[in-house]
Structure 1
Amino acid sequence: MTDRSIASRPSMEQVMAIVEFMEKHPALALGQLRGLEGRDESKKLWLQLTMTVNNLSGPTRPMKSWVKYWADKKSTVRAKVQSTGGDPNTLCSNIEKKIWDLFLANDSTSTKQRNTSVKQETHFLDENFFNEDSIDQDHEEDPVLAFEEPIVDIEDRQMAIMDKLVKVMSEQASALTQMARASQVHSQAMERLADASHIQARAVERLAGSLEAVGGASHAVRDAIVDIDASLKRFYSASPT
Protein backbone atom coordinates (compact mmCIF):
# COMPACT_ATOMS: atom_id res chain seq x y z
CA MET A 1 0.00 0.00 0.00
CA THR A 2 1.51 3.33 -1.05
CA ASP A 3 1.56 6.57 0.91
CA ARG A 4 -0.83 8.08 -1.64
CA SER A 5 -3.39 5.32 -1.08
CA ILE A 6 -3.23 5.79 2.67
CA ALA A 7 -4.36 9.42 2.52
CA SER A 8 -8.09 9.59 3.21
CA ARG A 9 -8.94 12.98 1.70
CA PRO A 10 -8.46 14.05 -1.92
CA SER A 11 -6.25 16.99 -2.77
CA MET A 12 -7.66 20.28 -4.00
CA GLU A 13 -6.29 19.50 -7.47
CA GLN A 14 -8.24 16.23 -7.52
CA VAL A 15 -11.47 17.85 -6.31
CA MET A 16 -11.23 20.58 -8.95
CA ALA A 17 -10.59 17.94 -11.62
CA ILE A 18 -13.72 16.04 -10.53
CA VAL A 19 -15.89 19.16 -10.64
CA GLU A 20 -14.53 20.18 -14.05
CA PHE A 21 -15.17 16.66 -15.39
CA MET A 22 -18.72 16.67 -14.02
CA GLU A 23 -19.29 20.10 -15.56
CA LYS A 24 -18.52 18.52 -18.95
CA HIS A 25 -20.77 15.53 -18.18
CA PRO A 26 -23.79 16.89 -16.25
CA ALA A 27 -25.85 13.75 -16.85
CA LEU A 28 -23.21 11.72 -15.02
CA ALA A 29 -22.98 14.35 -12.28
CA LEU A 30 -26.73 14.19 -11.67
CA GLY A 31 -27.04 10.41 -11.99
CA GLN A 32 -29.26 10.68 -15.07
CA LEU A 33 -27.56 8.00 -17.19
CA ARG A 34 -30.04 5.12 -16.97
CA GLY A 35 -30.74 1.87 -18.71
CA LEU A 36 -28.17 -0.50 -20.17
CA GLU A 37 -26.65 2.11 -22.45
CA GLY A 38 -26.58 4.65 -19.67
CA ARG A 39 -24.97 2.13 -17.34
CA ASP A 40 -22.23 1.38 -19.86
CA GLU A 41 -21.66 5.08 -20.51
CA SER A 42 -21.51 5.76 -16.76
CA LYS A 43 -18.97 3.01 -16.25
CA LYS A 44 -16.85 4.32 -19.11
CA LEU A 45 -16.90 7.90 -17.79
CA TRP A 46 -16.22 6.89 -14.19
CA LEU A 47 -13.27 4.77 -15.30
CA GLN A 48 -11.93 7.73 -17.29
CA LEU A 49 -12.38 10.06 -14.33
CA THR A 50 -10.75 7.59 -11.92
CA MET A 51 -7.63 7.25 -14.04
CA THR A 52 -7.43 11.03 -14.49
CA VAL A 53 -7.81 11.82 -10.79
CA ASN A 54 -5.45 9.07 -9.62
CA ASN A 55 -2.72 10.53 -11.83
CA LEU A 56 -2.90 13.82 -9.95
CA SER A 57 -1.27 14.66 -6.62
CA GLY A 58 -3.27 13.16 -3.79
CA PRO A 59 -4.53 9.71 -2.76
CA THR A 60 -5.14 6.93 -5.27
CA ARG A 61 -8.56 5.35 -4.90
CA PRO A 62 -10.60 2.69 -6.65
CA MET A 63 -13.46 3.90 -8.82
CA LYS A 64 -16.00 2.88 -6.19
CA SER A 65 -14.46 5.34 -3.74
CA TRP A 66 -14.61 8.23 -6.21
CA VAL A 67 -18.26 7.45 -6.96
CA LYS A 68 -19.04 7.54 -3.25
CA TYR A 69 -17.01 10.71 -2.78
CA TRP A 70 -19.02 12.56 -5.43
CA ALA A 71 -22.36 11.38 -4.00
CA ASP A 72 -21.30 12.35 -0.47
CA LYS A 73 -19.98 15.71 -1.66
CA LYS A 74 -23.27 16.68 -3.25
CA SER A 75 -25.19 15.52 -0.18
CA THR A 76 -22.90 17.58 2.06
CA VAL A 77 -23.37 20.74 -0.02
CA ARG A 78 -27.15 20.26 -0.16
CA ALA A 79 -27.32 19.66 3.61
CA LYS A 80 -25.29 22.81 4.34
CA VAL A 81 -27.61 24.97 2.26
CA GLN A 82 -30.75 23.39 3.69
CA SER A 83 -29.48 23.85 7.25
CA THR A 84 -29.25 27.61 6.66
CA GLY A 85 -32.75 27.98 5.27
CA GLY A 86 -31.72 27.51 1.65
CA ASP A 87 -29.14 30.30 1.48
CA PRO A 88 -26.15 29.20 -0.66
CA ASN A 89 -24.24 32.36 0.28
CA THR A 90 -23.34 30.65 3.55
CA LEU A 91 -21.09 28.21 1.68
CA CYS A 92 -17.50 29.18 2.50
CA SER A 93 -15.84 27.18 -0.28
CA ASN A 94 -15.69 28.24 -3.92
CA ILE A 95 -15.78 24.58 -4.90
CA GLU A 96 -18.98 24.00 -2.94
CA LYS A 97 -20.54 27.14 -4.43
CA LYS A 98 -19.69 25.87 -7.91
CA ILE A 99 -21.19 22.45 -7.15
CA TRP A 100 -24.35 24.15 -5.91
CA ASP A 101 -24.64 26.49 -8.89
CA LEU A 102 -23.95 23.79 -11.49
CA PHE A 103 -25.75 20.75 -10.11
CA LEU A 104 -28.02 21.60 -7.16
CA ALA A 105 -29.39 25.14 -7.52
CA ASN A 106 -31.95 24.15 -10.17
CA ASP A 107 -32.92 20.93 -8.42
CA SER A 108 -36.62 21.66 -7.99
CA THR A 109 -37.66 18.01 -7.88
CA SER A 110 -39.56 16.55 -4.99
CA THR A 111 -37.93 14.62 -2.17
CA LYS A 112 -39.13 11.33 -3.65
CA GLN A 113 -37.61 12.19 -7.03
CA ARG A 114 -34.33 13.23 -5.43
CA ASN A 115 -34.19 9.98 -3.51
CA THR A 116 -34.75 8.11 -6.80
CA SER A 117 -31.84 10.02 -8.34
CA VAL A 118 -29.61 9.17 -5.38
CA LYS A 119 -30.63 5.53 -5.62
CA GLN A 120 -29.76 5.62 -9.32
CA GLU A 121 -26.30 6.94 -8.47
CA THR A 122 -25.66 4.44 -5.70
CA HIS A 123 -26.20 1.48 -8.04
CA PHE A 124 -22.66 2.25 -9.19
CA LEU A 125 -21.50 1.01 -5.80
CA ASP A 126 -22.76 -2.53 -6.44
CA GLU A 127 -20.01 -5.10 -6.70
CA ASN A 128 -21.27 -6.24 -10.12
CA PHE A 129 -20.64 -2.78 -11.48
CA PHE A 130 -16.93 -3.06 -10.75
CA ASN A 131 -16.24 -6.78 -11.32
CA GLU A 132 -16.10 -6.58 -15.11
CA ASP A 133 -13.22 -6.77 -17.55
CA SER A 134 -13.47 -3.10 -18.48
CA ILE A 135 -11.98 -2.06 -15.14
CA ASP A 136 -8.24 -1.74 -14.76
CA GLN A 137 -7.18 -5.07 -13.27
CA ASP A 138 -3.77 -3.69 -12.28
CA HIS A 139 -5.29 -1.20 -9.87
CA GLU A 140 -4.94 -2.29 -6.27
CA GLU A 141 -8.19 -2.08 -4.30
CA ASP A 142 -6.73 -0.37 -1.26
CA PRO A 143 -9.08 0.38 1.62
CA VAL A 144 -9.91 4.00 2.15
CA LEU A 145 -9.38 5.03 5.74
CA ALA A 146 -12.33 6.56 7.59
CA PHE A 147 -14.21 6.97 4.30
CA GLU A 148 -17.55 6.40 6.00
CA GLU A 149 -17.13 9.69 7.84
CA PRO A 150 -18.39 12.89 6.18
CA ILE A 151 -15.82 14.24 3.77
CA VAL A 152 -14.39 17.61 4.72
CA ASP A 153 -12.39 19.27 1.95
CA ILE A 154 -9.02 20.69 2.79
CA GLU A 155 -10.19 23.88 1.11
CA ASP A 156 -13.23 23.98 3.39
CA ARG A 157 -11.05 23.80 6.47
CA GLN A 158 -8.57 26.30 5.07
CA MET A 159 -11.33 28.74 4.14
CA ALA A 160 -12.93 28.38 7.57
CA ILE A 161 -9.57 29.01 9.25
CA MET A 162 -8.92 31.99 6.98
CA ASP A 163 -12.38 33.41 7.75
CA LYS A 164 -11.73 33.09 11.47
CA LEU A 165 -8.27 34.61 11.05
CA VAL A 166 -9.63 37.55 9.06
CA LYS A 167 -12.35 38.06 11.67
CA VAL A 168 -9.82 38.02 14.51
CA MET A 169 -7.50 40.39 12.66
CA SER A 170 -10.44 42.70 11.94
CA GLU A 171 -11.40 42.70 15.61
CA GLN A 172 -7.79 43.39 16.58
CA ALA A 173 -7.58 46.26 14.08
CA SER A 174 -10.83 47.69 15.45
CA ALA A 175 -9.51 47.39 19.02
CA LEU A 176 -6.23 49.10 18.06
CA THR A 177 -8.17 51.89 16.35
CA GLN A 178 -10.26 52.41 19.46
CA MET A 179 -7.09 52.41 21.59
CA ALA A 180 -5.51 55.00 19.28
CA ARG A 181 -8.60 57.19 19.50
CA ALA A 182 -8.65 56.84 23.28
CA SER A 183 -4.95 57.76 23.45
CA GLN A 184 -5.58 60.79 21.28
CA VAL A 185 -8.47 61.90 23.48
CA HIS A 186 -6.33 61.35 26.58
CA SER A 187 -3.48 63.36 25.03
CA GLN A 188 -5.84 66.23 24.19
CA ALA A 189 -7.25 66.13 27.73
CA MET A 190 -3.73 66.29 29.18
CA GLU A 191 -2.93 69.29 26.96
CA ARG A 192 -6.07 71.08 28.15
CA LEU A 193 -5.18 70.23 31.74
CA ALA A 194 -1.69 71.63 31.24
CA ASP A 195 -3.12 74.84 29.77
CA ALA A 196 -5.55 75.14 32.66
CA SER A 197 -2.74 74.59 35.16
CA HIS A 198 -0.66 77.30 33.46
CA ILE A 199 -3.61 79.73 33.56
CA GLN A 200 -4.20 78.89 37.21
CA ALA A 201 -0.53 79.49 38.04
CA ARG A 202 -0.65 82.91 36.37
CA ALA A 203 -3.86 83.76 38.25
CA VAL A 204 -2.28 82.74 41.54
CA GLU A 205 0.75 84.84 40.66
CA ARG A 206 -1.43 87.86 39.93
CA LEU A 207 -3.40 87.28 43.13
CA ALA A 208 -0.19 87.13 45.11
CA GLY A 209 0.89 90.42 43.54
CA SER A 210 -2.47 91.96 44.36
CA LEU A 211 -2.30 90.75 47.95
CA GLU A 212 1.20 92.14 48.25
CA ALA A 213 0.02 95.49 46.94
CA VAL A 214 -2.92 95.43 49.32
CA GLY A 215 -0.55 94.61 52.16
CA GLY A 216 1.70 97.54 51.24
CA ALA A 217 -1.31 99.89 51.05
CA SER A 218 -2.57 98.67 54.41
CA HIS A 219 0.84 99.33 55.93
CA ALA A 220 0.84 102.87 54.50
CA VAL A 221 -2.66 103.51 55.84
CA ARG A 222 -1.61 102.29 59.27
CA ASP A 223 1.44 104.60 59.26
CA ALA A 224 -0.76 107.49 58.23
CA ILE A 225 -3.18 106.75 61.06
CA VAL A 226 -0.29 106.63 63.52
CA ASP A 227 1.01 109.95 62.27
CA ILE A 228 -2.43 111.54 62.56
CA ASP A 229 -2.82 110.20 66.05
CA ALA A 230 0.57 111.57 67.08
CA SER A 231 -0.24 114.95 65.57
CA LEU A 232 -3.52 115.16 67.42
CA LYS A 233 -1.83 114.29 70.68
CA ARG A 234 0.74 117.06 70.17
CA PHE A 235 -1.96 119.50 69.22
CA TYR A 236 -4.05 118.91 72.31
CA SER A 237 -1.05 118.89 74.62
CA ALA A 238 0.05 122.29 73.30
CA SER A 239 -3.37 123.94 73.66
CA PRO A 240 -4.11 126.17 76.82
CA THR A 241 -6.36 124.61 79.38
Structure 2
Amino acid sequence: MSDRSIASRPSGEQVMAIVDFMEQHPVLALGQMRGVEGREESKKLWFQLTRIVNNINGPTRPMKSWIKFWADKKSTVRAKVQAAGDPNSLCSNIEKKIYDLFLANDNTVNQKNMSVKQESHFIEEPYFNENSMDQSTEAQPALASDPVGDAEDQHIVILQKLVTVMSDQASALTQLAHASHANSQAMERLAEASQIQARALDRLATSFESIGAATHDVRTAIIGIDASMKRFYTNSPT
Protein backbone atom coordinates (compact mmCIF):
# COMPACT_ATOMS: atom_id res chain seq x y z
CA MET A 1 0.00 0.00 0.00
CA SER A 2 1.52 3.33 -1.03
CA ASP A 3 2.23 6.16 1.36
CA ARG A 4 0.08 8.41 -0.83
CA SER A 5 -3.02 6.22 -0.41
CA ILE A 6 -2.46 6.07 3.34
CA ALA A 7 -2.02 9.84 3.56
CA SER A 8 -5.28 10.39 1.66
CA ARG A 9 -7.33 8.52 4.25
CA PRO A 10 -9.21 10.56 6.85
CA SER A 11 -7.85 10.43 10.37
CA GLY A 12 -9.83 8.96 13.23
CA GLU A 13 -10.46 12.48 14.56
CA GLN A 14 -11.91 13.53 11.21
CA VAL A 15 -14.22 10.50 11.04
CA MET A 16 -15.45 11.12 14.59
CA ALA A 17 -16.08 14.80 13.74
CA ILE A 18 -18.20 13.75 10.76
CA VAL A 19 -20.24 11.29 12.86
CA ASP A 20 -20.77 13.90 15.60
CA PHE A 21 -21.89 16.46 13.01
CA MET A 22 -24.29 13.95 11.46
CA GLU A 23 -25.68 13.15 14.90
CA GLN A 24 -26.62 16.83 15.17
CA HIS A 25 -28.12 16.82 11.64
CA PRO A 26 -29.78 13.39 11.18
CA VAL A 27 -31.81 14.54 8.18
CA LEU A 28 -28.58 15.31 6.34
CA ALA A 29 -27.04 12.03 7.52
CA LEU A 30 -29.94 10.01 6.13
CA GLY A 31 -30.10 11.93 2.84
CA GLN A 32 -33.67 13.08 3.50
CA MET A 33 -33.27 16.74 2.44
CA ARG A 34 -35.47 17.09 -0.62
CA GLY A 35 -36.62 19.90 -2.88
CA VAL A 36 -34.91 23.17 -3.73
CA GLU A 37 -34.78 24.38 -0.12
CA GLY A 38 -33.50 21.02 1.04
CA ARG A 39 -30.74 21.05 -1.56
CA GLU A 40 -29.68 24.55 -0.54
CA GLU A 41 -29.66 23.62 3.15
CA SER A 42 -27.77 20.42 2.36
CA LYS A 43 -25.15 22.40 0.47
CA LYS A 44 -24.71 24.83 3.36
CA LEU A 45 -24.34 22.04 5.92
CA TRP A 46 -21.85 20.10 3.80
CA PHE A 47 -19.84 23.27 3.23
CA GLN A 48 -19.80 23.86 6.99
CA LEU A 49 -18.78 20.26 7.70
CA THR A 50 -16.02 20.42 5.07
CA ARG A 51 -14.49 23.45 6.78
CA ILE A 52 -14.66 21.73 10.17
CA VAL A 53 -13.08 18.46 9.01
CA ASN A 54 -10.36 20.13 6.93
CA ASN A 55 -9.23 22.06 10.02
CA ILE A 56 -8.63 18.79 11.89
CA ASN A 57 -5.39 16.84 11.65
CA GLY A 58 -5.63 14.70 8.51
CA PRO A 59 -5.98 15.10 4.73
CA THR A 60 -7.68 18.15 3.25
CA ARG A 61 -10.43 17.22 0.81
CA PRO A 62 -13.04 19.07 -1.29
CA MET A 63 -16.66 18.93 -0.23
CA LYS A 64 -17.60 16.31 -2.83
CA SER A 65 -14.97 13.93 -1.44
CA TRP A 66 -16.36 14.16 2.11
CA ILE A 67 -19.90 13.57 0.76
CA LYS A 68 -18.67 10.44 -0.98
CA PHE A 69 -16.79 9.28 2.11
CA TRP A 70 -19.94 9.47 4.24
CA ALA A 71 -21.93 7.47 1.70
CA ASP A 72 -19.14 4.89 1.52
CA LYS A 73 -18.97 4.61 5.28
CA LYS A 74 -22.70 3.99 5.72
CA SER A 75 -22.67 1.48 2.88
CA THR A 76 -19.74 -0.37 4.43
CA VAL A 77 -21.41 -0.61 7.83
CA ARG A 78 -24.65 -1.76 6.21
CA ALA A 79 -22.83 -4.42 4.16
CA LYS A 80 -20.94 -5.74 7.21
CA VAL A 81 -24.11 -6.14 9.23
CA GLN A 82 -25.88 -7.80 6.30
CA ALA A 83 -23.01 -10.24 5.82
CA ALA A 84 -22.76 -11.17 9.51
CA GLY A 85 -26.45 -10.91 10.28
CA ASP A 86 -25.61 -9.29 13.63
CA PRO A 87 -24.75 -5.64 14.45
CA ASN A 88 -22.60 -6.89 17.33
CA SER A 89 -20.15 -8.20 14.74
CA LEU A 90 -18.95 -4.64 14.17
CA CYS A 91 -15.52 -4.20 15.78
CA SER A 92 -15.18 -0.44 15.46
CA ASN A 93 -16.83 1.89 17.98
CA ILE A 94 -17.33 4.44 15.20
CA GLU A 95 -19.09 1.89 13.00
CA LYS A 96 -21.27 0.80 15.92
CA LYS A 97 -22.24 4.41 16.50
CA ILE A 98 -23.06 4.88 12.81
CA TYR A 99 -25.25 1.77 12.89
CA ASP A 100 -27.05 2.73 16.12
CA LEU A 101 -27.70 6.32 14.98
CA PHE A 102 -28.51 5.92 11.30
CA LEU A 103 -28.97 2.27 10.26
CA ALA A 104 -30.69 0.50 13.14
CA ASN A 105 -34.13 1.32 11.69
CA ASP A 106 -33.11 0.52 8.11
CA ASN A 107 -35.02 -2.63 7.14
CA THR A 108 -32.62 -3.42 4.32
CA VAL A 109 -29.80 -3.97 6.80
CA ASN A 110 -31.45 -7.12 8.15
CA GLN A 111 -31.92 -8.69 4.73
CA LYS A 112 -28.70 -10.57 3.91
CA ASN A 113 -29.37 -11.16 0.24
CA MET A 114 -30.76 -7.71 -0.55
CA SER A 115 -28.43 -5.45 -2.49
CA VAL A 116 -26.85 -2.68 -0.51
CA LYS A 117 -28.89 0.54 -0.59
CA GLN A 118 -26.99 3.10 -2.64
CA GLU A 119 -26.68 6.79 -1.98
CA SER A 120 -27.75 8.28 -5.31
CA HIS A 121 -25.91 11.54 -4.75
CA PHE A 122 -22.36 10.30 -4.15
CA ILE A 123 -19.43 9.08 -6.24
CA GLU A 124 -17.24 6.16 -5.22
CA GLU A 125 -13.90 6.91 -3.57
CA PRO A 126 -11.46 4.90 -1.38
CA TYR A 127 -12.02 5.58 2.29
CA PHE A 128 -10.35 5.18 5.64
CA ASN A 129 -10.89 1.90 7.47
CA GLU A 130 -10.47 2.86 11.10
CA ASN A 131 -9.97 -0.78 12.23
CA SER A 132 -6.50 -0.85 10.65
CA MET A 133 -4.72 1.27 8.09
CA ASP A 134 -2.93 -1.87 6.88
CA GLN A 135 -6.16 -3.67 5.91
CA SER A 136 -7.37 -3.53 2.33
CA THR A 137 -10.14 -1.10 1.50
CA GLU A 138 -13.42 -2.91 1.06
CA ALA A 139 -15.16 -2.73 -2.28
CA GLN A 140 -17.99 -0.22 -2.27
CA PRO A 141 -21.12 -0.02 -4.44
CA ALA A 142 -21.11 2.24 -7.45
CA LEU A 143 -22.27 5.75 -6.65
CA ALA A 144 -23.80 8.41 -8.84
CA SER A 145 -23.60 12.18 -8.96
CA ASP A 146 -23.23 14.93 -6.39
CA PRO A 147 -26.57 16.24 -5.07
CA VAL A 148 -25.55 19.85 -5.38
CA GLY A 149 -24.40 19.38 -8.95
CA ASP A 150 -21.01 19.74 -10.57
CA ALA A 151 -21.75 23.34 -11.54
CA GLU A 152 -22.46 24.28 -7.93
CA ASP A 153 -19.29 22.49 -6.79
CA GLN A 154 -17.27 24.45 -9.32
CA HIS A 155 -18.91 27.64 -8.11
CA ILE A 156 -17.94 26.82 -4.52
CA VAL A 157 -14.36 26.03 -5.57
CA ILE A 158 -14.16 29.36 -7.39
CA LEU A 159 -15.49 31.17 -4.32
CA GLN A 160 -12.92 29.41 -2.13
CA LYS A 161 -10.12 30.44 -4.50
CA LEU A 162 -11.46 34.00 -4.54
CA VAL A 163 -11.46 34.08 -0.74
CA THR A 164 -7.86 32.82 -0.75
CA VAL A 165 -6.79 35.48 -3.27
CA MET A 166 -8.54 38.22 -1.30
CA SER A 167 -6.88 36.98 1.90
CA ASP A 168 -3.45 37.08 0.23
CA GLN A 169 -4.18 40.56 -1.09
CA ALA A 170 -5.24 41.77 2.36
CA SER A 171 -2.03 40.30 3.80
CA ALA A 172 0.06 42.10 1.16
CA LEU A 173 -1.72 45.39 1.87
CA THR A 174 -1.12 44.92 5.59
CA GLN A 175 2.59 44.36 4.99
CA LEU A 176 2.69 47.45 2.77
CA ALA A 177 0.99 49.49 5.49
CA HIS A 178 3.55 48.27 8.04
CA ALA A 179 6.40 49.19 5.69
CA SER A 180 4.91 52.64 5.07
CA HIS A 181 4.50 53.18 8.81
CA ALA A 182 8.13 52.16 9.43
CA ASN A 183 9.28 54.52 6.64
CA SER A 184 7.21 57.34 8.15
CA GLN A 185 8.80 56.77 11.56
CA ALA A 186 12.27 56.79 9.97
CA MET A 187 11.50 60.10 8.23
CA GLU A 188 10.27 61.56 11.52
CA ARG A 189 13.50 60.52 13.25
CA LEU A 190 15.53 62.04 10.38
CA ALA A 191 13.59 65.31 10.68
CA GLU A 192 14.21 65.37 14.43
CA ALA A 193 17.93 64.77 13.84
CA SER A 194 18.00 67.60 11.28
CA GLN A 195 16.33 69.95 13.78
CA ILE A 196 18.87 69.02 16.46
CA GLN A 197 21.70 69.64 13.98
CA ALA A 198 20.21 73.02 13.00
CA ARG A 199 19.96 74.08 16.66
CA ALA A 200 23.58 73.01 17.22
CA LEU A 201 24.69 75.09 14.24
CA ASP A 202 22.74 78.07 15.58
CA ARG A 203 24.48 77.76 18.94
CA LEU A 204 27.86 77.44 17.21
CA ALA A 205 27.18 80.53 15.11
CA THR A 206 26.15 82.44 18.25
CA SER A 207 29.37 81.33 19.93
CA PHE A 208 31.42 82.55 16.98
CA GLU A 209 29.59 85.88 17.07
CA SER A 210 30.34 86.21 20.78
CA ILE A 211 34.01 85.38 20.15
CA GLY A 212 34.12 87.93 17.31
CA ALA A 213 32.58 90.60 19.53
CA ALA A 214 35.03 89.82 22.32
CA THR A 215 37.94 89.93 19.88
CA HIS A 216 36.78 93.32 18.64
CA ASP A 217 36.58 94.62 22.22
CA VAL A 218 40.09 93.33 22.95
CA ARG A 219 41.42 94.93 19.77
CA THR A 220 39.76 98.25 20.66
CA ALA A 221 41.22 98.07 24.14
CA ILE A 222 44.71 97.35 22.76
CA ILE A 223 44.41 100.30 20.35
CA GLY A 224 43.33 102.53 23.26
CA ILE A 225 46.26 101.38 25.38
CA ASP A 226 48.65 101.96 22.49
CA ALA A 227 47.32 105.49 21.94
CA SER A 228 47.63 106.22 25.66
CA MET A 229 51.22 104.98 25.74
CA LYS A 230 52.14 107.13 22.75
CA ARG A 231 50.63 110.21 24.35
CA PHE A 232 52.43 109.46 27.59
CA TYR A 233 55.85 109.14 26.03
CA THR A 234 55.26 112.16 23.77
CA ASN A 235 54.39 114.43 26.68
CA SER A 236 57.15 113.13 28.98
CA PRO A 237 60.20 115.55 29.62
CA THR A 238 63.41 114.43 28.04
Q: TM-score, normalised by structure 1?
A: 0.50
Q: Deviations over 1:157-189 (max 9, x none)?
A: xxxxxxxxxxxxxxxxxxxxxxxxxxxxxxxxx
Corresponding residue SS for 2:19: helix
Structure with more relative contact order (C-alpha pairs < 8 Å, separation 6 or more): 1
Alignment correspondent of 2:71: 71
Alignment correspondent of 1:132: 155
**Amino acid of the residue matched to residue 155 of structure 2?**
E
Superposed displacement of residue 62, structure 1? 0.5
Count of residue pairs the alignment pairs up: 134
Answering whether residue 94 of structure 2 is matched by residue 95 of structure 1, we say: yes
Alignment correspondent of 1:47: 47
Give, in whole Å, the separation in 1 of the partners of 2:26 and 2:43.
15
Superposed displacement of residue 32, structure 1? 0.5
Kept in 2: contact 1:14–1:58 (CA 8 A) = yes
**Amino acid of the residue matched to residue 12 of structure 2?**
M
Give, in whole Å, the separation in 1 of the partners of 2:79 and 2:5.
28
Kept in 2: contact 1:4–1:58 (CA 8 A) = no
Q: Go from structure 1 to structure 2 and tell me whether the alpha carbon gap of 1:77 and 1:112 turns closer, same or farther (over 3 Å shift).
A: closer
Superposed displacement of residue 134, structure 1? 8.1
Percent identical: 66
Superposed displacement of residue 63, structure 1? 0.5
Give, in whole Å, the separation in 1 of the partners of 2:5 and 2:161.
14
Superposed displacement of residue 124, structure 1? 2.4
Give, in whole Å, the separation in 1 of the partners of 2:158 and 2:44.
9
Corresponding residue SS for 2:31: coil
Corresponding residue SS for 1:76: helix
Unpaired runs of at least 5, structure 1: 140-241
Give, in whole Å, the separation in 1 of the partners of 2:6 and 2:87.
33
**Amino acid of the residue matched to residue 124 of structure 1?**
D
Q: TM-score, normalised by structure 2?
A: 0.50
The structure where helix makes up a greater share of residues is 1
Superposed displacement of residue 119, structure 1? 1.4
Alignment correspondent of 1:26: 26
Superposed displacement of residue 12, structure 1? 0.8
Q: Go from structure 1 to structure 2 and tell me whether the alpha carbon gap of 1:128 and 1:89 turns closer, same or farther (over 3 Å shift).
A: same
Kept in 2: contact 1:26–1:103 (CA 8 A) = yes
Q: Go from structure 1 to structure 2 and tell me whether the alpha carbon gap of 1:56 and 1:5 turns closer, same or farther (over 3 Å shift).
A: farther
Q: Deviations over 1:82-134 (max 9, x none)?
A: 0112x01000000000000000010126969944xx21555426412312258
Unpaired runs of at least 5, structure 2: 123-143, 163-238
Larger Rg computed on CA atoms: 1
Alignment correspondent of 2:120: 119
